[in-house]
Structure 1
């Protein structure tokens, strides 16, 4: 039943005018009326950016294939996962040439991912049908995130990677004008999500619920100082041309890999509790201006 309502909600958002849709998106998450004239909450400022932040200029930074060029230039190819190819048509994918483990992603959007850990037991025909749906989706319409509008949907095939958890923890750094201010570690992404949040000095924010009151925390996940400092420096380099961006990383066998750049965190509908202590405080760092400050080629 939940999936039915979720589908109906997504389809409704697609056809609603942008401004009406973002009021609905914000209210669904925050249970408050959106204030665009004087936005004070984290989600309010993200909704403002959707309307006025010129997000359509960010396509090459959120396209999962094209962003690799930016990563190579700014921090180096060694921070990228290996890939087996990128395809415009599902029928062009020859599964017989792929290894036993691999990851299928749509180059556009969020959560469009299929993980194969054992090709012998992987339902290829089902995967083909799912990928065909990915290629037809106008992802930007769902949450009115215009950075995804001008991306050509393609299928990216990556090398399968996992860390000591058997999955991949996300290390997410929230950056403002090239300065990371806090970070969060996401565990159990595909099962029972856990989010632990820290200030940039590594102090654990024990009472912070980053993504809703029901978010679970572990109590603490330690990052050694050298790794934390490297993640901070990488975040600074990758975020310096943006007024606001979340920079995501993975760590596999003590090696850091780039994940993605996100400009409308949670589509602006995931409150950070307590609201007055964290959500409004984090929101202060988001400036109401365009997100792309300058093109990297012009530096």
Structure 2
């Protein structure tokens, strides 16, 4: 069952989740997992990666995860690991959209909220930006009811702000390739390579091993990458960065960019797809699950 097809309106889905906010986390997670995957959640003896993500939400609550989920505070964590050089240049951090002095910003930049997903404003030409519309969007995102959506506790404890960063350059294909490393106790196991984010047909996703060999799996909800992708320059350094940034956690996804050998940090993600996104063939859910050795509960 795909609940997004059943309830196409995101606004309506959020209203429904808001209505159900009173439900205990375990019950709501079981319900959402069943609606999203069509399967019962085995929380006592999870074997799938998607099941272990649900366990992770419920029982592992290391406070450092809050810091590393915040798109601003995580910068301090990255710097503490010796990787200040991969941080995207920061132009400002703001509590409200009204605090942004647009005249002081360069012609190109990105504005984003520190706790959201898909809450970005990409400005490629400031002269064409409707500043009042941008401010309205940013404040709506800051004030949006998040409640317990996904029951991803680490994000719920973030006090949201707005940050403004440098707009990263696209490559010769008008693309910005995203490398997402799935790491377990400091060891990268596999990675997503996401391309064509800005093209008309939408994003494509390939799954690779750490030798950059394409694996015969795909995400069930994203079109598969079919064209050849060359291993990026400095790939071994990317692996080292992923190891160092993931060593403090049983599992985290480390997102990086690589622009002609220059590496930039994207974000750390603890609950990939909220643990509701499947794979074809289904066996990859179990393969990832084998890597995810559940720790003792911290709750």
Q: TM-score, normalised by structure 2?
A: 0.89
Aligned to 1:74: 81
1:34-76 alpha-carbon deviations (Å, 9 max, x no partner)? 1112212221110111111115541111111111111111032
The answer to whether the 8 A contact 1:103-1:160 is kept is yes
Could you list the structure 1 runs, at least 4 aligned residues long, displaced by more than 4 angstroms after superposition. Answer: 1-4
- Is the counterpart of residue 281 in structure 1 residue 287 in structure 2? yes
The answer to whether the 8 A contact 1:171-1:186 is kept is yes
Query: RMSD between aligned alpha carbons?
Result: 2.1
Counting matched residue pairs gives: 288
Structure 1 stretch displaced more, 82-91 or 134-143? 134-143
Aligned to 1:208: 217
Task: Tell me the distance in 2 between the aligned counterparts of 1:138 and 1:236.
Answer: 35
Structure 1 stretch displaced more, 177-186 or 137-146? 137-146
Q: Mapping of 1:127-276 within 5 angstroms?
A: 127-139=134-146, 141-164=148-171, 165-191=173-199, 192-205=202-215, 207-210=216-219, 212=220, 214-224=222-232, 227-276=234-283
Task: Tell me the distance in 2 between the aligned counterparts of 1:241 and 1:200.
Answer: 20
Q: TM-score, normalised by structure 1?
A: 0.89
1:144-192 alpha-carbon deviations (Å, 9 max, x no partner)? 1111122111100001112314342110111001000111111123551
Q: For 2:13, which of 9, 12, 24 is the aligned residue?
A: 9
SS of corresponding position for 1:114: strand
SS of corresponding position for 2:295: coil
Structure 2: 5+ residue runs without aligned partners? none
Provide closer, same or farther for how the CA distance between residues 214 and 66 of structure 1 changes in structure 2, counting only shifts above 3 A: closer
The answer to whether the 8 A contact 1:106-1:134 is kept is yes
Task: Tell me the distance in 1 between the aligned counterparts of 2:98 and 2:127.
Answer: 19
1:5-59 alpha-carbon deviations (Å, 9 max, x no partner)? 2221123224422223212332233221211122122211101111111155411
- Is the counterpart of residue 112 in structure 1 residue 116 in structure 2? no
- Is the counterpart of residue 50 in structure 1 residue 57 in structure 2? yes
Structure 1: 5+ residue runs without aligned partners? 293-299
Task: Tell me the distance in 1 between the aligned counterparts of 2:162 and 2:272.
Answer: 23
The answer to whether the 8 A contact 2:203-2:222 is kept is no
